[in-house]
Amino acid sequence: MSLSKHLLRLFTGISKVWPLAISLCASSWNNLLAFLSWQPIKAAAALAKDEIPGAAPEKKPQGRPNVIRYIGLPEASRIPDTVPYGTIYYPQKGTYAGFGMTAHIELAPEGHVVKTPKTNPYNLQAQERNMADMRTEAAVYGRIGHNCPYIPKMVAWDPKTCCLSLEYLENGALAEYMEENALEIEAALRRRWALQATRGLRALHAVGIIHGDLTPRNVLLGADNNVRVADFAGSCIDGASYKICAGERYIIPGWSFNKKPEPADDIFLLGGLIYFIMTSKEPHHDLESAFDVAKQYNAGVFPDVAGLDCGAVIQGCWKGSLGSADEVLVQLLRVFGTDEDPLSDIIA
């Protein structure tokens, strides 16, 4: 083979790989930010023991800290005179209710969830991004309104502080619940959740919203065993650009931050979500490497759905033959044979 043909094959291979590499880097960056930002809320008693007023101030290093440590202070508590470099105190509004990349998530005494954007005096641009994400989320809830049973209800929104109060869903993220209770979940309940997640996505698309990160960690389960689609900080409203990347086991083939958001992107994610709901396993769970998962998706190789009643529907989401949430819903109802969603008679 001539040198020119060798070079042509080389550049052709590179052109196929670089979008995959960018997608994986974006996903890894999201995960890294989450890891570096996370710190559990510290109890007030432990805080009082650790912080010694009047202690000699630390010599602060130059530049931004490598790790940010957030410590919640009970209401009316005073910030210690000495604040270690990289530590940020914030006023608690309740007890810890979950981890958020851009916000503290707490259960207020009144019984609702409060999401407070994370401050960051070391990086004011990051702080503003956190507040912008909360504005986006509030805008989504405002656009959906209070009549959709498949989206959590917004309780309150403070545009000044960008604090968002939401309906509390007691069983938390579907991802964690299913991992802990996989063997106890009946088939009828799985069918219900698949229908409800699809109807939640349909409601978003009906008002011009692309979720962009429709994965099991962003679907919440209430005490009534009904699910709601949630977490819209990274969503795209009316064609706005992507700000986040979905998890590597759900990522859209050829995805990049420059890709124009469209409903078909969410439909692909919905296929992975329904697969998880029906199997309690993430797509391509047998592959350890995120790079290998993305390679499979980009090559059009998807997980085996043999034995699943809705396997063809899942494949339709992944392969693009189902182009809307309405089409997915019709096919799910056809293969299930019955509508086991108790919320379906409520106007969505």
Give tens-digit pLDDT for 273-309. 999 999 999 999 999 988 899 899 999 999 999 999 9
Q: Which domain CATH number covers 295? A: 1.10.510.10
* Same-domain check for residues 185 and 327: yes
Residue 318 lies in a domain: yes
In a domain, 332, yes or no: yes
pLDDT at 126: 96
Tell me the per-residue pLDDT of 154-194, one tens digit each, with 9 for 90 and over. Answer: 999 999 999 999 999 999 999 999 999 988 999 999 999 99
pLDDT at 30: 53
- Residue 197, domain member (yes or no): yes
Residues 85 and 223 grouped into a single domain:
no
- Indicate the pLDDT class of residue 75, thresholds 50, 70 and 90: confident
Are both 204 and 269 inside the same structural domain?
yes
**Which one of 115, 143, 168 terminates a domain?**
168
- In angstroms, what CA-CA distances link 292 with 24, 297, 299, 344, 345? 10, 9, 10, 39, 43
Query: What pLDDT is stored for residue 28 in this prediction?
Result: 55
**What is residue 145's DSSP assignment?**
-
Q: Say if residue 31 is in the same domain as residue 94.
A: yes
Range 53-61 average pLDDT: 51
Give domain status of residue 10, yes or no: no
Higher pLDDT, 4 or 182: 182
Q: Would you say residue 56 has pLDDT above 60? A: no
Residue 324 and residue 236 share a domain: yes
Last residue of a domain, which of 113, 139, 168?
168
The answer to the question of residue 327 being in a domain is yes
pTM: 0.82
Closest by CA position to 243, among listed 160, 149, 129: 129
Give alpha helix (H) positions in the chain: 3-37, 44-50, 124-144, 174-181, 187-206, 263-279, 290-298, 311-319, 325-336
Task: List residues bridging with 107 in a β-sheet.
Answer: 95, 113
Total of domains in the chain: 2
Average confidence (pLDDT) over 8-26:
49
Tell me whether residue 56 is in a domain. Answer: no
> Do 191 and 331 sit in the same domain of this protein?
yes
Asked whether residue 131 carries a pLDDT value surpassing 70, the answer given is yes
pLDDT at 74 over 50: yes
Same-domain check for residues 133 and 185: no
Q: What percent of the chain has pLDDT above 70?
A: 82
Domain-terminating residue out of 121, 144, 168: 168
- Whether residue 328 sits in one domain with residue 184: yes
Q: Is the same domain home to 208 and 150?
A: no
Q: Report which of 13, 12, 28 is spatially closest to residue 251, judged by C-alpha positions.
A: 28
Plot region of 287 (φ>0 → left; ψ -120 to 50 → alpha; else → beta)? beta
Q: Are residues 157 and 245 in the same domain?
A: no
Same domain, 145 and 181: no
β-strand pairing of 236-237 with 87-91: unpaired
Residue 9 lies in a domain: no
pLDDT score, position 76 = 80
Rounded to whole angstroms, how far apart are CA atoms 100 and 218?
11
Q: Residue 2: pLDDT above 90?
A: no
Amino acid 259: pLDDT = 95
Instruction: Tell which wins on pLDDT, 44 or 214.
Output: 214
Q: What is the pLDDT of residue 291?
A: 87
For residue 119, the enclosing domain spans: 26-43+67-168
Query: What CATH number is attached to the domain comprising 32?
Result: 3.30.200.20
Flag whether 162 is in a domain: yes
pLDDT at 245 over 80: yes
Least confident of 8-12, 301-305, 339-343: 8-12
Residue 315 main-chain phi, psi, to 5 deg: -60, -35
- Assess whether 113 and 220 both reside in one domain: no
